[in-house]
């Protein structure tokens, strides 16, 4: 199942030199592997193990969540808006799913 990833900049169009908050939300169950279903069977772990944030070809953050991160997780970073560019997010989860999503940062 492809994972939906949403990327939002806050403010949406920052002025050059301002701080911009990058919010990434992945729609993923993040099963920690400790929960049991109605029949008492353990639900196998499936969480995002790797999420890389790349801005203009340069890796700015490598996020390594575990089952300790909640379902449909939010990942927020702060960076200085120096130039407009493309933000790319790539992810990998325990089930072997991977994918990427891009968003463009525009300056005011």
Partner 1 sequence: MDRRSFLKTSAGAVAGAVLSSSLAAALAQGGLEGEDVAKLDAALQKALGKGYKDLEPSKDVKLVAPTIAESGANVPVEIEAALPAEEVKAIHCFCDKNPTPLLFSVFLSGVAPYYATRIRIAETAPVRAVVETKDGKLLLASQSVRVTVGGCG
**56: number of Cβ within 10 Å:** 13
Name residues whose C-beta falls within 8 Å of residue 38's C-beta, 6 or more positions apart in sequence. none
**Window contacting partner 1 (CB under 8 A); options: 1-9, 10-18, 33-41, 96-104:** 33-41
- As measured in angstroms, the least distance from the Cβ of 15 to partner 1 is 16
Nearest to 35 by CA among 25, 45, 24, 26: 45
Judge if the upstream peptide bond of residue 76 is cis by omega within 30 degrees of 0. Answer: no
Least CB distance from residue 36 to partner 1, whole Å? 7
Residue 9 interacts with partner 1 (CB under 8 A): yes or no: no
- From first CA to last CA, the distance across the chain in angstroms is 36
Q: Is 16 in the site for partner 1 (CB under 8 A)?
A: no
Least distance from C-beta 89 to partner 1, angstroms?
A: 13
Q: Name the residue nearer to partner 1 (CB basis): 3 or 79.
A: 79
- Which among 4-12, 59-67, 90-98, 99-107 is the span making contact with partner 1, rule CB under 8 A? 59-67
For partner 1, what does the binding mask look like between residues 71 and 100, x meaning CB under 8 A? x-xxxxxxxx--------------------
CA distances from 61 to 29, 73, 76, 89, 90 (A): 22, 16, 10, 10, 11
């Amino acid at each position: 199942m492809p994972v939906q990833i949403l990327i939002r900049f806050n403010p949406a169009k920052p002025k050059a030199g301002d701080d911009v908050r990058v919010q990434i939300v992945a729609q993923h169950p993040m099963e920690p592997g400790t929960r049991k279903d109605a029949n008492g069977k353990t639900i196998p772990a499936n969480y995002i193990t790797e999420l890389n944030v790349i801005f203009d070809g340069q890796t700015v953050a490598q996020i390594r969540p575990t089952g300790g991160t909640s379902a449909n997780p939010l990942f927020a970073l702060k960076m200085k808006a120096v130039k407009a560019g493309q933000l790319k997010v790539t992810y990998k989860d325990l089930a072997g799913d991977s994918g990427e999503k891009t968003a463009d940062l525009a300056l005011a």
